[in-house]
Structure 1
Amino acid sequence: MESLAKIALGGGCYWCTEAIFLSLRGVRNVDQGFVSSVGEQSDWSEAVVIRYHPGEISLKDLIEVHLHTHKSTAAHRMRNKYRSAVYTIDAGDDEKVRLVLKELQDGFSEKLITEILPFVDFKPSEERYWNYYYSQPEKPFCETYIAPKLRLLLNRFSNLVDPKMVQASL
């Protein structure tokens, strides 16, 4: 049995974020919904919880994909609900994430605003929204917002993508 690691990421709408990470090799499961962090239990943010195999995809790769597939350098007008964040779950991940963000900052012309927050709780979204993009890619939201992110993913991170997932849907 493979040992899976877990991380939670917030980067705008969870429909978009879910589609991105379902498309990557090494990712075994993506749950979309709402995450709370220490001090913000009443302030839930859209996010995904990702279970992945570290032997197939690294934490750094996941974070790099995350930073490039949402507005990680610009605040959203609904900042708390759609915050750019890495929610750390496993002990020791805070420092790993901090180092990764510092290293990846050089790839951006503006300062990253992505927060590192401790994961406290998760509420899944309604089941009808699960696998939103891959179950209905013809929807206007999917064509307008998600498909361009998947094209970017395929062009920039083709070595990490499961081509069966992305190419079949674009």
Structure 2
Amino acid sequence: MEKIGFGGGCHWCTEGVFQALRGVVQVDQGFLQSEPPWDAWAEGVIVTFDPAIIQPGILAEVHLRTHSASGTYSPEGRYRSAVYVFDDEQHDEAARTIAQFASDTGEPARTAVLAFVGFRGSEERYRNYYQTDPSRPFCRRYIDPKLAYIRQHFADLALP
């Protein structure tokens, strides 16, 4: 098993996206930190996955296509579009995936590849947000469209 981190928008959405993929064993929702100047805590997830089923580059592509990877937003610095890597190989694969995404979309991707430094879990009541009640208005409005995108564009990796 390997781990990789993702940040971008609300961690409830990010958590729900990765929980919907084959090969993902666990998704820990919370706040991630990197090296300065990216050392402020930002919402995100740590994904534990089986690289024999799903590669880090595919996880990065799913991430890029299910959040605003080319927009600009960061309420109070809480949201950071990033891939938090645990080694040089993940760094290189994430950087290639981001460059390909930018080429495909014709827009510069603002998603950074950052070294993973720290993680703080969310409060228990927020964990597994989508799985505990997918009928919440937030889930229906923001997470369901992302899951529909995965089922359409990554059907071979989408859980039933």
Normalised by the shorter chain, which TM-score bucket?
over 0.9
Letter in 1 for 2:55: S
Tell me the percent identity.
Answer: 41
Tell me: CA distance 1:123–1:41, structure 2 relative to 1, closer, same or farther (3 Å).
farther
CA contact (8 A) 1:6 1:90 kept: no
1:112 Cα deviation after fit: 0.6
1:151 to 140, 148, 152: 148
State the partner residue of 1:88: 85
SS at match of 1:150: helix
Cα offset, 1:66, TM superposition: 0.3
4+ aligned runs moved over 4 Å, structure 1: none
Secondary structure class of the residue paired with 1:143? helix
Cα distance, 1:79 vs structure 2: 6.8
Structure 1 unmatched runs, 5+: 164-170
Which of 113, 116, 123 is the matching residue for 2:113?
A: 116
Q: Does 1:140 align with 2:134?
A: no
Alignment RMSD = 1.5
Give the direction of change, closer, same or farther, for the CA distance of 1:138–1:61 in structure 2 (3 Å limit).
Answer: same
Contact kept? 1:75, 1:83, Cα under 8 Å: no
Aligned equivalent of 1:27: 24
Q: 1:63 and 1:95 mapped to 2: Cα distance? A: 12
2:74·2:80 contact (CA, 8 Å) conserved in 1? no
Q: Distance in 1 between matches of 2:159 and 2:130?
A: 15
User: Contact between 2:101 and 2:109, CA under 8 Å: does it hold in 1?
Assistant: no
Asked if 1:16 corresponds to 2:5, the answer is no
Deviations 1:96-148 (A, max 9, x none): 22122222322213111101111110000001111101111111111111111
Amino acid at match of 1:122: F
The separation in 2 between residues aligned to 1:144 and 1:89, in whole angstroms, is 32
**Count of residues in Structure 1 that have an aligned counterpart in Structure 2:** 160
Identify the residue that residue 65 of structure 2 maps to in structure 1.
68
SS in structure 1 of the partner of residue 156 of structure 2: coil
Q: Is the alpha carbon distance of 1:8 and 1:110 closer, same or farther for their aligned partners in structure 2, counting shifts above 3 Å? A: same
C-alpha separation in 1, matches of 2:72 and 2:38: 21
- Distance (whole Å) between structure 1 residues aligned to residue 159 and residue 124 of structure 2: 24
Which blocks of at least 5 consecutive residues in structure 2 are unaligned?
none
With structure 1 as the length reference, what TM-score do the two structures score? 0.88
